[in-house]
Structure 1
Amino acid sequence: MEENEYVVSIEELHARKAVKRVESQAIGPSHDQNKKKAAVDSLKEKLKTLLEQRDNSTTTPQQPKIQRVVPMLRYKENFEKHYEPRAVSIGPIHHGKSRLQIAEKYKPKLVRKFIQDNRTDGEVLCMKVLEDIKELRNCYEEEVTESYDDESLAWIFFLDGCSTLQFIHSFKMGGELKQYFNIKNDQIAFAQQDLFLLENQLPYRLLKLLMNSTGSNCDEYKKSIKLFIGSTSTAPEKLRHKIIPDMDGKPEPAHLLDLLQSALLSQPRETTHDDDDKKEENYRRQSFRNIQELKEAGIQFKPSSSCSLRDIDFNSLCFAGFLKLPPLTVDDSTEPLLLNLIAYEMCPDNSQTDYGVTSYVCFLDELIDSAEDVKHLRSANILQNSLGSDAEVAKLFNDIGTDLVPHPEAYMKVKDRIQKHYENRWMTWMAEAYYKHFSTPWTILAFIAALIALALSSVQTWMAVSSWRSARPCDELCKNFTMHRKP
């Protein structure tokens, strides 16, 4: 009988299923409605938060924070060589790395010199840095400084800030770094490059605080920074005095790299022309590929009057065109310098940038394809090659220009005027004839000699004809006189 207690008829089983189905139908809809309502309320709350964050960012634009190089650049070959310091760490990002400890022994010497020269109290100065630590910390991305407490971070800022200012000031004094601090020339060169790496920056707010503590010497330190930035720029040495950073402008610079970028881009943009009011959709599609093609079309290259990377212009005269480019020195420091300026423009919070350096590099990358293109720029005194072969320079710009996105309107008017000249076949034919027959002084002399020979031949022929015509009336007169004397 106990086994029969577990026997359930088919009718009873269907009845139980029906009951469960009815119960689920009765309970299910209200439960689903509650879940949907909760999801909608959650989405509304998230949307409200998102809109509030957007409004805050648009009404109060902030200066870009010091941060690491963006991930899309970190995969590039030789990343450490171009973006990480090789001699000295400045700031919290690379602080404490074992391979940079050699330079740490020089920092206390530089700090002592800074304090002695300016007769300041080091303890008081360090406390000023600590009092401003909240604002200084806010100059960095949060993940960069979160592992440091206020005292540790203030000490890094004090030590690196004073030593950096003294290094720059002693750099201006000539041999002081080598004679007074016993710093070797190669260490000086690498340290100079390291001071303009994106991940190796100190807030200008800190440098300004330290300079203001020097009293009457403040202007001397500002002057030293200006000369230091000029000596680090891409301009040829004899033109570096034209690179003048605005240290007291508004907004205040974020750091030394920002100051260098603004100095390189500070001068006028493209020269205005009569056709500058054309809309972007009317611009011609670019078909020229490199400098050699432009040269064959009669375009000549000349250095611009300034060293600003924006000072690029094109003018067309008769069958010749003239493209002006800013003078440029290429050496071992050029690639890391340009790459870090580009990395700074690519920072997510750098919303005020117009990608000036990125656009300039992309424009050069369009013009330079081979060593022959570099040779033309050298011949025109636009490019000074202190790197190596012309092929190395061409490869440098081709490598840097890979995967870069310039500002869509950068040099648009210049490119349009170049394309207009390039498409003019009459100018192209005249240019081809000129470069084919007058490319060397000997061909020009041969042409002049041919013209002189042709002129002399024409004069000789004219004189012969003229003498024949003048002699003919005399012959006829003699003939008539003879005829009249016959009986």
Structure 2
Amino acid sequence: MEPDQHIVSIDEHYSRKVIRIEDRPTITREERFRRLTGAGVQRRAEEPAKIQKVIFLLRDHKHFVKYFEPRVAAVGPIHHGNPKYRLGEEYKLTSKFVELCGKDINCLYEEAEMEIKQLRGCFEEEVTKNYDDEALAWMLFVDGCAILQYISCVANDNFKELNIKNDSVAFAHQDLFLLENQVPYRLLKLLMKYSGKEEQLSESIERFIGIVTNQQMKLQQKQGERDQTHLLDLLRTRLLGPFGKNGGDQDRDSQSYRNVQELKSVGIQLKRSKNNSHLREISFTRNFGFYPGYLWLPPITVDDSTGPKFMNMIAYEMCLDFENDFGISSYISFLDSLIDEANDVKDMRKAQVLRNFLGSDQQVADLFNEIGTDVVPNSDAYKDVKRQIQKYYDIPCMTWMAQVYHNHFSSPWTFLAFLGVLLGLGLTAAQTAYAVKASHPGPCEKFCMLKLKET
């Protein structure tokens, strides 16, 4: 074998297997040891996760494009430059954000450019390696201005400024909450700060998130908590609400009920949580501490954006550098345990727990069965609620009581019929008692009869 062929032979036992010298790893020994020793370094919980691609575990999802790829506009470096988002790029370049702020565009851009090192650090290295600082700074500046302009128009109900069709508005709305379509929240804060309209823009973001979550109250950030990573992180935080308390010793494998229909069969009724509660605020109570049981659920609106929003929040929780309690994954898993079929969705609608803008009840059931597949929840989430439901479910007489209630008290007509039966039984009993009493003479009648005999 000639040396200039750059091929090294392996033992003949391995049948012609060869290794090209130029294909050998070029990593130095020092780099190998640095990676090895750095592999075990734990990130601090308060450190934000990097903006990155969807984890490999979800990349082979059969509806990956539908759930994870932008529809009309690429934001950030991951999908930037894709020809199918060309029209979206043109709209971003016509953003009136700078005009709205009354700020010189050069001054505003320079502020973003000065922070490019910190902004680059908000991304996983892999997704920004093909962009130099100037290209990345300009991309983020254009995207950040367009996002703030869009949010301001939505929050203030001024879609005319966007000059785009309604269907494109809906798709753009969805695109803002894709994991691979995020820019650092630090960038948005920077642009708001130097825009001269920080207060108004901050309020617009709060109103916008309130519209998306149907929650008008801002969740107060506690001291020591990290800032939001991006808009998807902000959405997740607002939906989940504050951390709740989980108690009890519930075994994750001991749950024997399967859906709303089985809960209904033992007298457990669905109730809408008050004040548009957060997703963590699920509870279970009993009337007079016994019967019936009430499962209190926060209301949820289901439409075309529900699947992508929840799938991207689940993907965000699965990011290896994001330490979290898997709150969204746990909620979807709990909801999936309640929904098996169209009748489950129907009962949730009747209880005003769920609003269906997607289509048929079966479509909603199929959606939650799909996004709930292979989701790994936090075993401590809703532990106390599950324990209380199971304890109630295991009482043998609950099924009998539920059947009695369903047969005789489920509607005004069955209740009136039941009262009629009771009244009929009461009258029959009274008539029988009177007849028995009449057939046996009392003391006065006996005395009169004796007097008549003496005469």
Q: What is the TM-score with the length of structure 1 in the denominator? A: 0.81
Q: Which amino acid aligns with 1:83?
A: F
Q: How does 1:44-443 map to 2 (within 5 A)?
A: 50-51=36-37, 54-55=40-41, 57-58=42-43, 62-110=47-95, 113-174=96-157, 176-178=158-160, 180-215=161-196, 217-233=197-213, 235=214, 240-242=215-217, 244=219, 246=221, 250-269=225-244, 276=247, 278-279=248-249, 285-305=254-274, 306-316=276-286, 317-351=289-323, 353-443=324-414
Q: Name the SS for the 2:295 alignment partner.
A: strand
Cα distance 1:61–1:252, how it changes in 2: closer, same or farther (>3 A)? closer
Distance 1:429 1:357 in 2: 36
How far did 1:390 drift? Answer: 0.7
Distance 1:230 1:122 in 2: 30
How far did 1:73 drift? Answer: 0.6
How far did 1:249 drift? Answer: 7.7
How far did 1:212 drift? Answer: 0.4
How far did 1:392 drift? Answer: 0.6
How far did 1:395 drift? Answer: 0.5
Q: Name the SS for the 1:344 alignment partner.
A: helix
Asked if 2 retains the 8 angstrom alpha-carbon contact of 1:297 and 1:428, the reply is: yes
Cα distance 1:257–1:249, how it changes in 2: closer, same or farther (>3 A)? farther
Distance 1:159 1:371 in 2: 45
How far did 1:72 drift? Answer: 1.1
How far did 1:452 drift? Answer: 1.4
Q: Which amino acid aligns with 1:258?
A: D
Asked if 1 retains the 8 angstrom alpha-carbon contact of 2:407 and 2:414, the reply is: no
Cα distance 1:331–1:355, how it changes in 2: closer, same or farther (>3 A)? same
Q: Which amino acid aligns with 1:153?
A: L
Q: CA RMSD in A?
A: 2.5
Distance 1:357 1:467 in 2: 74
Asked if 1 retains the 8 angstrom alpha-carbon contact of 2:48 and 2:229, the reply is: yes
2:421 aligned with 1:450, yes or no?
yes
Counterpart of 1:25 in structure 2 is none
Distance 2:223 2:66 in 1: 33
Q: Which amino acid aligns with 2:167?
A: D
Asked if 2 retains the 8 angstrom alpha-carbon contact of 1:196 and 1:337, the reply is: yes
Asked if 2 retains the 8 angstrom alpha-carbon contact of 1:284 and 1:419, the reply is: no
Distance 2:371 2:334 in 1: 12
Asked if 2 retains the 8 angstrom alpha-carbon contact of 1:211 and 1:218, the reply is: yes
Counterpart of 1:483 in structure 2 is 453
How far did 1:280 drift? Answer: 5.3
Instruction: Give the stretch that moved more between structures: 63-72 or 316-325.
Output: 316-325
Count of matched residue positions in the alignment of Structure 1 and Structure 2: 425
How far did 1:347 drift? Answer: 0.6
Q: Which amino acid aligns with 1:397?
A: F
Q: Name the SS for the 1:213 alignment partner.
A: helix
Cα distance 1:184–1:249, how it changes in 2: closer, same or farther (>3 A)? farther
How far did 1:314 drift? Answer: 1.4
After superposition, the C-alpha distances for 1:156-192 in whole angstroms (9 at most, x for unaligned) are 1111111110111111221x222x3321111111101
Please list every run of 5 or more consecutive structure 1 residues that lacks an aligned counterpart in the other structure. Answer: 1-41
How far did 1:465 drift? Answer: 5.2
How far did 1:389 drift? Answer: 0.7
Which structure has the highest helix share of the two? 1
Larger radius of gyration: 1
Asked if 2 retains the 8 angstrom alpha-carbon contact of 1:359 and 1:405, the reply is: yes
Instruction: Give the stretch that moved more between structures: 242-251 or 301-310.
Output: 242-251
Distance 2:402 2:162 in 1: 59
Q: Which amino acid aligns with 2:454?
A: H
Q: Name the SS for the 1:241 alignment partner.
A: coil
Asked if 2 retains the 8 angstrom alpha-carbon contact of 1:284 and 1:416, the reply is: no
After superposition, the C-alpha distances for 1:209-236 in whole angstroms (9 at most, x for unaligned) are 0000123x21111111111112222x4x
Cα distance 1:241–1:45, how it changes in 2: closer, same or farther (>3 A)? closer
How far did 1:104 drift? Answer: 2.1
Cα distance 1:280–1:370, how it changes in 2: closer, same or farther (>3 A)? closer
Q: Which amino acid aligns with 2:210?
A: G
